[in-house]
């Protein structure tokens, strides 16, 4: 399946808004978690601001999301995640000097009066030095054996 390029990866852009998620949660017994999307990505920059609905935090980088309900795939250079994982990523990135890679499943847990997000990391968030990744794919540097010329 080909990926659809979207303005941003978010639960809303991949699966749907609050109404759709509430309806989906009603289909499950209370306490049951349904995984709704998988997100993999590389955070290279944090974007923060204040908007109509309050403070927001997004991530700039490379992202791919899969809707686990219908298999649709999305890609974007921006990603907005539920607060519980946003706070973890923000903390990891602030302490990093390179990009942070992550992979996780996002689910909704059915509650009597709605739902709550559940996040399952698929791998440990890791700091990646992109230059070292490039170096792994090229031949090592060969230092010349020509004697140095003194000037």
Q: pLDDT tens across 26-54, in order?
A: 888 888 899 999 999 989 888 989 989 88
Residue 98 has pLDDT above 90, yes or no: no
Report the C-alpha gap between 66 and 55 in whole angstroms: 26
- Percentage with pLDDT > 90 across the chain: 40
Query: What is the pLDDT at residue 76?
Result: 96
Token digits of residue 110: 């059915």
- What DSSP designation does 9 have? B
- Backbone φ and ψ of 29, nearest 5°: -65, 150
Taking the alpha carbons of 8, 123, 24, 66 in that order, is the dihedral positive or negative? positive
- Whether pLDDT at 102 is above 70: yes
Query: Can you give the residue ranges of every domain in the chain?
Result: 3-136
More confident site: 112 or 1 = 112
The confidence band for 13, taking pLDDT boundaries of 50, 70 and 90, is: very high
pLDDT tens for residues 62-86?
999 999 999 999 999 999 999 888 9
Bigger pLDDT: 104 vs 136 = 104
Structure tokens at 90: 């923000």
| CA–CA gap between residue 63 and residue 85 (Å, rounded) | 15
Q: Where are the alpha helices (DSSP H) in 10-129?
A: 11-14, 18-26, 83-94
């Amino acid at each position: 399946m080909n990926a659809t390029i979207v303005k941003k990866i978010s639960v809303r852009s991949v699966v749907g808004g609050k109404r759709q998620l509430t309806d989906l949660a009603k289909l499950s017994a209370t306490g049951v978690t349904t995984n709704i999307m998988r997100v993999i990505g590389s955070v290279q920059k944090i974007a923060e601001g204040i908007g109509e609905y309050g403070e927001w935090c997004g991530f700039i980088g490379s992202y791919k999301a899969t809707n686990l309900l219908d298999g649709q795939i999305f890609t974007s250079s921006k990603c907005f995640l539920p607060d519980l994982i946003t706070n973890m990523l923000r903390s990891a990135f602030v302490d990093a000097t390179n990009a942070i890679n992550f992979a996780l499943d996002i689910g909704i847990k059915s509650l009597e009066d709605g739902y709550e997000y559940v996040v399952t990391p698929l791998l440990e968030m890791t700091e990646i030095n992109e230059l070292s990744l490039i170096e792994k794919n090229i031949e090592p540097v060969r230092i010349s054996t020509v004697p140095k010329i003194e000037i």
